Amino acid sequence: MSITATELALQMTDVRKTFAVGDDVVVALDGVDLTVGHDEILALIGPSGSGKTTLCSIAGGLLTATEGSVVVGGQDISQYNARELTLFRRTAVGFVFQTVNLVPFLTARENLLVVDEIGPRTGARARDRADQLLEELGLSDRAKNLPAQLSGGQRQRVAIGRALMNEPALVLFDEPTSALDTELGDQVVHLIREEMKSRGKAAIIVTHDDRITHYADRIVRIVDGHVSGDTPAD
Ligand SMILES: Nc1ncnc2c1ncn2[C@@H]1O[C@H](COP(=O)(O)OP(=O)(O)OP(=O)(O)O)[C@@H](O)[C@H]1O
Ligand SMILES: [Mg+2]
């Protein structure tokens, strides 16, 4: 069965990304073809330096591809200018990074609401959404805690909530569990899967952890900047 473009959260075609470093050119991505279905969870694995973070950054509009086309939820972002990319990042994608990057002087709830200032949600609607997300993530009783007053797993859950605030079609997780112990890492990935599946959202989860890949629908392996394997998860 063929998949139409509207059913895809992400379609990358022949994406190349190079960085100039002094007189040298580093090739980070070298002809990547990748599609992610609109409700698919993709685990992205591969050795250090293979291009995983670069791929996520391009899919999320944080970096632009040197060549190739990048279509996210039907938007061709490869031709976007800086302003269009900013709007795209605020409305269409969510990010969860390894280093959680919560604002240290804001509470858990305020860390979700801070998205509101840059995104489309306003006022009471945003507060309701933040409270709903905190509840779903099991954090209602920690809403007033500062990040320093939360455990590592709780901080990561706040970051997941923040990434979901604006109901993005695609959420990008770059090693979301690497700072957590195995059990907590399992819990967080389980939670990511539940949140994505119940909302019908797509996700790319970069991970070094083979135990986590069974939470994915598909496993894509990237080596030296290109896709070297693409298999359904068991
Ligand atoms: N801003 C940059 N300037 C120059 N080279 C870069 C830049 N960002 C990444 N690279 C290079 O591009 C390649 C891919 O890097 P990337 O961060 O995507 O790898 P990764 O797969 O995420 O690795 P890791 O598992 O260690 O996080 C590497 O060789 C890296 O050194
Ligand atoms: Mg990386």
Terminal Cα-to-Cα distance of the chain (whole angstroms): 21
- State which amino acid sits at residue 140: S
For the entire predicted model, the pTM comes to 0.90
Query: For residue range 138-196, what is the model confidence (pLDDT) as tens digits?
Result: 899 999 999 999 998 899 889 999 988 888 999 999 988 877 788 878 888 888 898 89
Atom of ligand 1 lying closest to residue 208 CA: 25
| Residues 6 or more apart in contact with residue 156 via CB below 8 angstroms | 96, 100, 176, 177, 179, 180, 188
Whole-angstrom Cα distance, residue 202 to residue 81? 24
Question: Is the confidence at residue 2, as pLDDT, over 50?
Answer: no
Higher pLDDT, 217 or 103: 217
Query: Which ligand sits nearest to residue 47's alpha carbon?
Result: 1
- pLDDT score, position 122: 63
Q: What is the CA radius of gyration of the chain?
A: 17
Q: Which residues pair with 202 in a beta bridge?
A: 170
Q: Is 17 in the pocket of ligand 1 (CB under 6 A)?
A: no
User: In which region does residue 31 sit, left (phi positive, over 0), alpha (psi from -120 to 50) or beta (all else)?
Assistant: left
What dihedral do alpha carbons 77, 82, 85, 90 form, nearest 10°?
A: 180
Report pLDDT for 90.
86
Whole-number Å distance between alpha carbons of 58 and 77: 9
Closest CA to 19 of 66, 62, 53, 57: 66
For residue 222, give the ligand 1 atom closest to its CA: 21
| Rounded mean pLDDT, 204-233 | 88
Identify the pLDDT of residue 1: 45
Report CA(49)–ligand 2 centroid distance (Å). Answer: 7
Distance 6 CA to ligand 1 centre (A): 31
Question: For residue 88, what is the DSSP state?
Answer: H
Select from 5, 71, 42 the least CA-distant residue to 212.
42
Model confidence at 6, pLDDT cuts 50, 70, 90, reads low
At 105, list the tokens: 């002087």
Query: What's 4's DSSP letter?
Result: P
Helices (H), 39-81: 52-59
| Cβ proximity of 208 and 189 under 8 Å | no
Cβ(130)–Cβ(117) under 8 Å?
A: no
Nearest protein Cα to ligand 1, atom 6: 19
Minimum-distance ligand 1 atom for the alpha carbon of 175: 27
Segment 90-148, tens digit of pLDDT: 889 999 887 767 888 889 988 888 765 555 556 788 889 899 999 988 899 999 999 99
3-state secondary structure 100-127: CCCCCCCCHHHHHHHHHHHCCCCHHHHH
Q: Is the CB of 54 under 6 A from ligand 1?
A: yes
> Among 52, 62, 206, which residue has the most ligand 1 atoms within 8 Å of its CB, making it the best to mutate?
52
Neighbour count for residue 116 (Cβ, 10 Å): 19
* pLDDT digits 0-9 by tens, 28-61: 999 999 999 999 999 999 999 999 999 999 999 9
Specify the pLDDT at position 43.
94
Backbone phi and psi for residue 184, each to the nearest 5 degrees, phi listed first: -65, -40
Asked if residue 68 has pLDDT above 60, the reply is yes
